[in-house]
A and B are shown apart, each in its own frame.
Chain A
Amino acid sequence: MNMELSRRQFLAGSGAGLAGTTIAALGFGDVESAHAVSIRPFKLAQTKEARSTCPYCAVSCGMVIFSAQSKSAPGKMEIVHIEGDADHPVNRGTLCPKGSAALDYIRSETRVKYPMYRKPGANKFERVSWDFAMERIAKLMKDDRDQNFIEKNNDGTTVNRWTTMAFLSGSSCTNETGWLTWKVARGLGLLQLENQARI
């Protein structure tokens, strides 16, 4: 209990946005408050907090994500701690075994770190630059579009479609990413556009 109290008191004291209502609701007095202030420098004083959303299921639990100056990469912020957002009306501070381990997802060994490229028939990936990857993808797409884009169907109706290219859109992306995806895909003439909604 002490741990929990200290942490919450500390956050409120840091003025970083956790509403005072949480504290008031707990009903603790000045003593705890003073105690919290005294341990402040030892806890999350060097961190910045951001309100986020759990990336997993569609309960979409509120999260508070803490980041601090990276020790290995000076000048960059590094995420150091994640917890449930106690102010969120749906999850009220709780997280399940997946959400609780979300920090391990961000720091996963299997994160893709650089653009990687596999040549036809090769048995390994090689590291490439973003510019190489994007230039190559754009070229492959343009060549295929030029070959297979259909302006009019057999009846002469304008149809402006490109059916040899497909796009699977991620359902964990933001709404804004979703709309940009739609716009780019349809702008190019894609009909093979799907997301995880039906699987």
Chain B
Amino acid sequence: MTNSWTDIKNADVVWIMGGNAAEAHPCGFKWVTEAKAERGAKLMVVDPRFTRSAAVADHYSPIRPGTDIAFLSGVVNYLLSNDKIHKEYVRNYTNAAYIVKEGYAFNEGLFSGYNEANRSYDRSSWEYEIGPDGFAVRDLTLENPRSVYQLMKQHFSVYTPETVERITGSPKDKFLKVADWVASTATGDRAMTIMYALGWTQHSHGAQNIRTAAMIQLLCGNIGVPGGGINALRGHSNVQGITDIGTLTASLPGYLAMPTDSEPTLESHLGKRTFKPLQANQTSYWQNYRKFYVSFLKGMYGEKATKENEFGYNWLPKLDVAYDCLRMFETMYQGKTNGLICQGFNPLMSIAHTKKSIAGLSKLKFLVSIDPIETDTARFWENHGEYNDVDPAKIQTEVFMLPCASFAEEEGSLTNSSRCVSWKWAAAEPYHESWRDADFLADLFLRIRKLYEKDGGKGIEPLMAVDWSYKDPLHPHAEEVLKELNGKALVDLKDGEGKVTRAAGQQLASFAEMRDDGSTDGVQWIYTGVFGPNGNLAQRRDNSDPSGMNVYGSWGFAWPANRRILYNRASADPDGKPWSEAKKYVFWDGAKWTGADIPDYVPTLPPSRGAGPFIMNPEGVSRLFARGMMAEGPFPVHYEPFEAPVANPLFPKIKGNPVARVFKGDMEVFGTAKEFPIVATTYRLVEHFHYWTKGVHANAVIQPEFFVEISEELAREKGITRGGWVRVWSNRGAVKGKAVVTKRLKPLKIDGKTVHTVGMPLNYGFIGEAKKASPINTLTPPVGDANSQTPEFKAFLVDIEPISGPVA
């Protein structure tokens, strides 16, 4: 979230699309209810189903799964063609005025630089024109035909309300009401928040869904302001924190990058990431990348990291290719992976194309599952009839199912969707013979190191170089580890005049203290301050709201630097004055930046210096034109899902996302509209959390079994009765369940054709107390978003038929 759960209360318009907060995040959704009750905020919901969020909305529009970009681009076109944008914000705080260099083009659904053979782009033409002074060229009148603003007007002009209806099935009047309410917030005194979840990410073009939404927010001036923002409602209780830590194939903690084969030295890695400003006076905060990187290395390797050995840079493994989850299972499927550890992870349920996952897991030599409850993955080798039809005798995988302490049986910090790091305390010792995750990791690591010490072997040096100097090496204490994330001074840190600003051994108060000469450590720069000289701020429990704007600045610690709204300098105009009294948040008081929050800006830098509010970007402004940052191109384009009921109405020759990665053999597992005429989507139920709560008694009782939700029209057409059994199948497999016939789903008219959608909850499997069901991902296609590789779970093709139910 750019903003926070409690900040939703400051919104005047709440737009939920690609999520269903009332069902999936009920206790966060209360802030939408508050905004409606206290401020008269309007809630609008766009979703394939009339969801629980839609049920309490002031306006609802249906949409065909997988066509969000067309809808959102329609809103962009509406704002631009009716000139309903926040002009001053757009001119000063986005790259609308930047001139794009000659060579950039968009034709027939593709940008300049496309290479069909390897399904990727040469992105070099997606850049600014650079002037003789070395800075990017701008035209603040926005009139230059190659300005981002003019290129945008042209690019989005095709997304008229009629075209939006033709592609998405959203009736024109319902679409226009959404666009109109969006435009009502482009004024500086009103704000709209956008709340989304997996309904936007789980597409082959998921990242572009979110990007288009962010563009709308920038055009309206809704980023950096209270009640605004682009707010990801995240899944697991600490998925934000674990993403921050970066247990992701290509990541280091704090959004630093793993070294790659083409970066043999530390300098070759740092050099290309230390971005120089693209405008005079800009902050370009990533100039500090090297300070964060070296401090990370000092944390990872301790005293062994020295200037002479590049602080241990070459001990880190170098990335040959990114092993995202889909590639991980592809690699396993190819028999190239021998061992897998699942820590609180049930991939058999959560990865696309279950048949392939089973085949992959069966090729492992060993599988370790450490989890508080039994998972379907840990029992993948067990025969569960039609729900998991395998022959154990043919599966040679050694499997370890280890008991892990539950959330209540350990202490430590978690980071919620609002980026707020908070502490939890243990309520009991681990149950049964469970171990805490930390103890498992420490035992495993030290045991392996001992084997190497005793017997020798390959790669000893990098293994032994890792600093593990915990007080009790077998049981690292959570506070000790949080201190390590924060970082400390390793020698006396001095300012320019030789005065000691931080004594050796002291915890750092801010990442601004980090240095690139090895005199500081700290593995997670964005968390620096959470455990500074004043102790563990994650434990703060002061719930006061001094500004009255629902800002709880003394509760826990929100990264970075305890900021609750990111880019909040943009809540003031270029002169530092609030855009309006209603949205007064962070402003210049003549001497410094002040207000309800910690300024996301240099606190004493006057507005007259003209540094932009988007301090991480070398431009100092946000990007309507993404330059080379996105795989599909600098502007979003409507691409159909890989399995779609119609050809792309705008660019009929293009199938799916033209740069999405499809593994060899997987192109053949996609189904066609001819064989599979019905669109399917998946969703969550309020009574269940992913695949855990099917093993929890109360939840299994209140929502006991899998079902298939269909419209009354489809039920009539197929002769399906309410509560009758149905079989749903895709080109990859089939599932069975009872039919729930509802008015919540309606057939839509798409490009002249009637298209039905079915919805299925994903929370069931073959282990637990709920009734057994085939994994939902038996049906889903193994293709991901071209940037993030998030699988396309929300839009695929199936067929459906009534069947006789099991004999009781």
- Please give the residue numbers on chain A whose beta carbons come within 8 Å of chain B beta carbons, in ascending order: 19, 48-62, 65-67, 76-79, 82, 84, 87-92, 94-102, 104-106, 108-123, 125, 130, 133-142, 144-146, 148-149, 151, 153, 155, 157-199
Whether A112 contacts B374 by the Cβ 8 Å rule is: yes
Whether A177 contacts B412 by the Cβ 8 Å rule is: yes
- Closest A residue to B234 by beta carbon equals A58
Whether A178 contacts B242 by the Cβ 8 Å rule is: yes
Whether B438 contacts A176 by the Cβ 8 Å rule is: yes
Whether B408 contacts A65 by the Cβ 8 Å rule is: yes
Q: Contacts A168-B347, A171-B236 given: A52-B448 contact, CB under 8 Å? A: no
Query: Restricting to B223-247, which residues have a CB under 8 Å from any CB of A?
Result: 233-247
Whether A110 contacts B246 by the Cβ 8 Å rule is: no
Chain B 320-364: CB-based contact to A (< 8 A → 1; otherwise 0): 100111001001100011111111110100110000000000000
Whether B247 contacts A195 by the Cβ 8 Å rule is: yes
- Closest A residue to B470 by beta carbon equals A180
Cβ of A147 to closest chain B Cβ, rounded Å: 8
Q: Contacts A108-B373, A179-B253, A189-B317 given: A57-B459 contact, CB under 8 Å? A: no
Whether B412 contacts A199 by the Cβ 8 Å rule is: no
Complex contacts, A141 vs chain B, CB 8 Å: 339, 444, 448
- Closest B residue to A57 by beta carbon equals B25
Cβ of A96 to closest chain B Cβ, rounded Å: 4
Query: Restricting to B406-422, which residues have a CB under 8 Å from any CB of A?
Result: 406-418, 421-422
One of A60, A104, A163, A189 near B416 (C-beta < 8 A): A60
Q: Contacts A57-B24, A89-B552, A188-B463 given: A196-B407 contact, CB under 8 Å? A: no
Q: Contacts A96-B686, A144-B339, A186-B316 given: A153-B791 contact, CB under 8 Å? A: no
Whether B344 contacts A173 by the Cβ 8 Å rule is: yes
When chains A and B are docked, how far (Å) is the Cα of A181 from the Cα of B344? 12
Complex contacts, A172 vs chain B, CB 8 Å: 236-239, 344, 407
Complex contacts, A57 vs chain B, CB 8 Å: 24-25, 28, 233-237, 689
When chains A and B are docked, how far (Å) is the Cα of A116 from the Cα of B400? 6
Can you list 30 A-B contacts with CB-CB less than 8 angstroms, sorted by A residue number? A58-B236, A89-B6, A96-B26, A98-B686, A99-B27, A105-B696, A106-B408, A108-B697, A110-B768, A111-B403, A111-B431, A113-B433, A118-B400, A141-B448, A146-B458, A160-B315, A166-B340, A170-B344, A171-B239, A172-B407, A173-B343, A174-B241, A175-B413, A175-B524, A176-B412, A176-B481, A177-B436, A181-B247, A183-B445, A193-B248
Whether B238 contacts A175 by the Cβ 8 Å rule is: yes
Cβ of B181 to closest chain A Cβ, rounded Å: 25
When chains A and B are docked, how far (Å) is the Cα of A66 from the Cα of B253? 34
When chains A and B are docked, how far (Å) is the Cα of A181 from the Cα of B238? 14
- Closest A residue to B396 by beta carbon equals A120
Most buried by B among A55, A114, A145: A55
Count contacts between A and B, CB distance < 8 Å: 495
Complex contacts, A177 vs chain B, CB 8 Å: 412, 436-438, 441
- Mostly, the A contact residues are mixed
Whether B243 contacts A195 by the Cβ 8 Å rule is: yes
| B372 sits at the interface (CB 8 A) | yes
Whether A168 contacts B340 by the Cβ 8 Å rule is: yes
Whether B382 contacts A123 by the Cβ 8 Å rule is: yes
Whether A113 contacts B432 by the Cβ 8 Å rule is: yes
Complex contacts, A176 vs chain B, CB 8 Å: 412-413, 438, 476, 478, 481-482, 485
Most buried by B among A77, A183, A188: A183
When chains A and B are docked, how far (Å) is the Cα of A140 from the Cα of B373? 24
Complex contacts, B393 vs chain A, CB 8 Å: 121, 123
- Closest B residue to A176 by beta carbon equals B481
Complex contacts, B485 vs chain A, CB 8 Å: 175-176, 179
| B98 sits at the interface (CB 8 A) | no
Complex contacts, B201 vs chain A, CB 8 Å: 198
Whether B412 contacts A175 by the Cβ 8 Å rule is: yes
Interface residues on B, range: 35 or more
Whether A175 contacts B457 by the Cβ 8 Å rule is: no
When chains A and B are docked, how far (Å) is the Cα of A78 from the Cα of B427? 8
Cβ of B302 to closest chain A Cβ, rounded Å: 11
One of A105, A106, A179, A197 near B524 (C-beta < 8 A): A179
| B723 sits at the interface (CB 8 A) | no
When chains A and B are docked, how far (Å) is the Cα of A134 from the Cα of B444? 7
Most buried by A among B350, B366, B789: B366
Whether A167 contacts B448 by the Cβ 8 Å rule is: no
Whether A118 contacts B345 by the Cβ 8 Å rule is: no
Q: Contacts A77-B427, A89-B543, A98-B689 given: A166-B316 contact, CB under 8 Å? A: no
One of A101, A117, A158 near B399 (C-beta < 8 A): A117
Whether B300 contacts A61 by the Cβ 8 Å rule is: no
Whether B341 contacts A186 by the Cβ 8 Å rule is: no
Complex contacts, A137 vs chain B, CB 8 Å: 366, 368, 400, 444
Complex contacts, A186 vs chain B, CB 8 Å: 300, 316-317
Whether B686 contacts A97 by the Cβ 8 Å rule is: yes
Cβ of B23 to closest chain A Cβ, rounded Å: 9
When chains A and B are docked, how far (Å) is the Cα of A105 from the Cα of B343? 17
| B117 sits at the interface (CB 8 A) | no
Complex contacts, B397 vs chain A, CB 8 Å: 118, 120
Q: Which 7 A-B pairs have the closest CB atoms?
A: A170-B344, A174-B412, A60-B416, A101-B698, A58-B234, A55-B407, A171-B236
| B404 sits at the interface (CB 8 A) | yes
| B693 sits at the interface (CB 8 A) | yes
Complex contacts, B401 vs chain A, CB 8 Å: 112, 115-118, 125
Chain B 514-534: CB-based contact to A (< 8 A → 1; otherwise 0): 000000000110010000000
One of A115, A160, A175, A191 near B403 (C-beta < 8 A): A115
Cβ of A56 to closest chain B Cβ, rounded Å: 4
Complex contacts, A157 vs chain B, CB 8 Å: 261, 264, 318
Most buried by B among A77, A155, A171: A171
Whether B428 contacts A77 by the Cβ 8 Å rule is: yes
Q: Contacts A57-B236, A121-B395 given: A104-B699 contact, CB under 8 Å? A: yes
- Closest B residue to A117 by beta carbon equals B400
Whether A118 contacts B789 by the Cβ 8 Å rule is: no
Whether B407 contacts A110 by the Cβ 8 Å rule is: no
When chains A and B are docked, how far (Å) is the Cα of A53 from the Cα of B253? 23
- Closest A residue to B468 by beta carbon equals A183
- Closest A residue to B404 by beta carbon equals A112
Whether B238 contacts A59 by the Cβ 8 Å rule is: no
Whether A110 contacts B261 by the Cβ 8 Å rule is: no
When chains A and B are docked, how far (Å) is the Cα of A147 from the Cα of B601? 51
Q: Contacts A151-B459, A165-B339, A177-B437 given: A196-B350 contact, CB under 8 Å? A: yes
| B171 sits at the interface (CB 8 A) | no
